[in-house]
Amino acid sequence: MRILVTGGTGYIGSHTVLTLLEGGHDVVAVDNLSNSSPESLRRVGELAGRDATFVEADITDEAALDAVFAEHPPEAVIHFAGLKAVGESSAIPLDYYFNNVSGTISLLRVMERHGVRKIVFSSSATVYGDRNPAPYVEKMEIGAMNPYGRTKEQIEDILSDLGASSPEWHIALLRYFNPVGAHPSGRIGEDPQGIPNNLVPFIAQVAVGRREKLMVFGGDYETPDGTCQRDFIHVVDLAQGHAAALTYLEDHAGVFRWNLGSGRGTSVLEMLHAFEKAVGAPIPYEIAPRRAGDLPAFWADPSAALADLGWSTTRTVEAMCEDHWRWQKSNPMGYQPV
């Protein structure tokens, strides 16, 4: 198939483009480069032995998207493009609703005009909010707790309504847990701009000497070691989940929701110690106050993805840390030249 990937130069996007190229698909990647570098796709091309087509465009620009669909008609779309920093989303909510929600509406309108009705959407486990205990199951009532999460929830609603409006739509909503790690080559990985919000990129920058120490947000939760537990998923497993969902959509119409996670909780301190093992050196840390909005325990019930897609995670926390570290140490400044 020819697949159009929005947000194709980003962290999860670039790993998914590589998986698709390796699976024999052709890829047109669209990105506005607001938080990523085209260098990721250049390296994806090296790893795959052939290139994706790259178009610099913004998903809120319908005319630009129309031109991409006319020049490179895709059979399906994987939609990653969007803003994703939880804290920032409370400071500039309009930017989040415009880019994520309006951008998706533009993309869907263009898809409809061009008769493309297969889409895999990058949602988030954050839509589960705090109303249910772990493990999270797709049929639970959702309720996100911040503007970023609400954009994901609203897009899920829009896609559900679209799917209900016509039997021609094939829609997958993928709820990711905590993606970490990097391609085992160490050539592509996560390259956060500024101070990382997420745990593993922060640990990696401490390990490489860019930051002094990790602040562990909260050591007094009701969990085995007092720190929060998360369901970490290797980004290559996640990329393969997208390919599996796409295959499923080829002969299933309707709207489908799948958790993409491992089904296991790993605590912040367990993750830190696993990363120390990969590095072979201690990583300085300090227990700090809790971060507002954090839930103590958060992991997936991934059984629906296994039953429907035959997909499950295969890469361990150790592999996530080793691969993330290989990327970080060989690219201490990410895609920027050192």
Active site residues: 148
Sign of CA dihedral 233, 270, 307, 131: negative
- In the bound state with ligand UD1, the residue whose beta carbon lies nearer, of 117 and 152, is 152
Q: 109-138 mask for ligand UD1 (x: CB under 6 A)?
A: ---------------x-x------------
Q: Would strands 266-267 and 229-230 be described as parallel, antiparallel, or unpaired?
A: antiparallel
Pick one of 8, 74, 82, 149: the residue that binds ligand UD1 (CB under 6 A). Answer: 149
Q: Does 102 bind ligand UD1 (CB under 6 A)?
A: no
Is residue 227 within 8 A of residue 203, CB to CB? The reply is: no
Is residue 236 within 8 A of residue 165, CB to CB? The reply is: no
Is residue 312 within 8 A of residue 233, CB to CB? The reply is: no
Shortest distance, position 256 Cβ to ligand UD1, whole Å: 20
- In the bound state with ligand UD1, the residue whose beta carbon lies nearer, of 68 and 235, is 235
Residue 327 amino acid letter: W
Q: Does 268 bind ligand UD1 (CB under 6 A)?
A: yes
- In the bound state with ligand UD1, the residue whose beta carbon lies nearer, of 154 and 197, is 197
Q: What is the token pair recorded at 222? A: 């009701």
**3-state SS assignment for residue 149:** helix
CA atoms of 257 and 120, how far apart (whole Å) = 10
Pick one of 112, 270, 294, 301: the residue that binds ligand UD1 (CB under 6 A). Answer: 294
What 60-67 contacts at long range (C-beta under 8 Å, 24+ apart), as own/partner pairs, is: 60/98, 60/99, 60/102, 60/103, 60/106, 61/106, 62/106, 62/109, 62/110, 65/30, 65/106, 65/107, 65/110, 66/110, 66/113, 66/114
Q: Does 321 bind ligand UD1 (CB under 6 A)?
A: no
Stretch of 48-56, 156-164, 249-257, 290-298 contacting ligand UD1, by CB under 6 A: 290-298
Shortest distance, position 224 Cβ to ligand UD1, whole Å: 14
Shortest distance, position 290 Cβ to ligand UD1, whole Å: 7
- Output the residue with the shortest Cβ distance to ligand UD1: 228
- In the bound state with ligand UD1, the residue whose beta carbon lies nearer, of 76 and 174, is 174
Shortest distance, position 61 Cβ to ligand UD1, whole Å: 26
Q: Does 230 bind ligand UD1 (CB under 6 A)?
A: yes
**Closest Cα partner for 85 from 189, 176, 194, 6?**
194
**3-state SS assignment for residue 312:** coil
Q: Does 83 bind ligand UD1 (CB under 6 A)?
A: no
Structure letter (DSSP) for residue 99: I
Pick one of 121, 128, 136, 202: the residue that binds ligand UD1 (CB under 6 A). Answer: 202
First to last CA, the chain: 38
Is residue 209 within 8 A of residue 277, CB to CB? The reply is: no
Stretch of 97-105, 162-170, 191-199, 248-256 contacting ligand UD1, by CB under 6 A: 191-199
- In the bound state with ligand UD1, the residue whose beta carbon lies nearer, of 146 and 303, is 146
Omega cis (within 30) before 296: no
Say how many residues touch ligand UD1, by CB under 6 A.
20
Is residue 151 within 8 A of residue 298, CB to CB? The reply is: no
Pick one of 32, 106, 123, 178: the residue that binds ligand UD1 (CB under 6 A). Answer: 178
Stretch of 29-37, 252-260, 275-283, 289-297 contacting ligand UD1, by CB under 6 A: 289-297
Q: Does 217 bind ligand UD1 (CB under 6 A)?
A: yes
- In the bound state with ligand UD1, the residue whose beta carbon lies nearer, of 110 and 268, is 268
Q: Contact residues for ligand UD1 (CB under 6 A)?
A: 86, 124, 126, 149, 178-179, 197-199, 202, 214-217, 228, 230, 268, 291, 293-294
